[in-house]
Amino acid sequence: MGRCFASLIRHPYAGVAVLHMPLAIFDLDNTLLSGDSDYLWGQYLVELGVVDGAAHEAANALFYADYKAGRLDIDAFLAFALRPLRENRPEALLAWRAEFVASRIEPLIGRPAQELVERHRRAGDTLLVITATNAFVTAPIVERFGIPHLIATEPERDARGFTGRVAGIPAFREGKVARLQQWVQEHGSSINGSHFYSDSSNDLPLLERVDTPVAVDPDPLLAEVARSRGWPLISLRDVAC
């Protein structure tokens, strides 16, 4: 079980050195993905019968609506979202996650998002995803994009497994700024010349810190702010011919 458990949140490309190149920072949900992996993971667990269907689905929908409205209680949400990690065996979690990524996430990865990542890769930028969604769910998705660095909300673990609590600062709102500052210090990097791509007004604290903030298929508040400040607005959604 120890070996299986140790692989639960193995971040992609662990140990890759960061060069002193500009950062290309990406939000994940509704930015690189045309959907929300956190919400969809909850729905997937409902479909599997892993959680109490009606109660979990109702709470999941309410938290998601609060997030979109900019009023999410992050502590309450994480207590809810991390409970299934605590209550299930590592082997089962890994199997469910693999099927979730293949069946639910892969269709949400569009060509424009992949091309944007590749443009920054060719430019030699350091690629980084920063997301409030927990690292257990997001690590394989970020690996799928070939992005070597991930800052995510970290589920706490002890010798027995996941505790259902958060380790450190959740990567949400001002927490994204704090976590990025920690990461920059640890890697001897800098946010000078950085880009940050996001869809959400919840990310305004970090968007306001980078040199090039980019609104991606933004929510109404972020779209309004971006237009008023002259920030680029782009879409990463596939358009049918």
Please state, in angstroms and rounded to a whole number, the distance separating the CA atoms of residues 38 and 113.
19
Domains and CATH numbers, the chain: 14-234 (3.40.50.1000)
Single out the residue of 158, 6, 164 nearest to residue 90, CA to CA.
Answer: 6
* Whole-model pTM over 0.85: yes
Q: What angle do CA 69, 70, 76 make, to 5 degrees?
A: 105
Single out the residue of 217, 180, 178 nearest to residue 200, CA to CA.
Answer: 217
* pLDDT at 8 (0 to 100): 54
Looking at 27, 36, 199, 219, which residue is catalytic? 27
Bridge partners, 149 (sequence order): 128
Q: Are 32 and 142 in contact (CB under 8 A)?
A: no
161-167 and 149-158 beta bridge pairing: antiparallel
Looking at 29, 36, 199, 203, which residue is catalytic? 29
Q: Are 210 and 180 in contact (CB under 8 A)?
A: no
Q: Please indicate whether residue 217 is annotated as part of the active site.
A: no
| Burial (CB count within 10 angstroms: exposed 0-12, middle 13-18, buried 19+), residue 74 | buried
Q: Please indicate whether residue 29 is annotated as part of the active site.
A: yes
pLDDT at 175 over 80: yes
| pLDDT tens digits, 78-132 | 999 999 999 999 999 999 999 999 999 999 999 999 999 999 999 999 999 999 9
Please state, in angstroms and rounded to a whole number, the distance separating the CA atoms of residues 176 and 197.
13
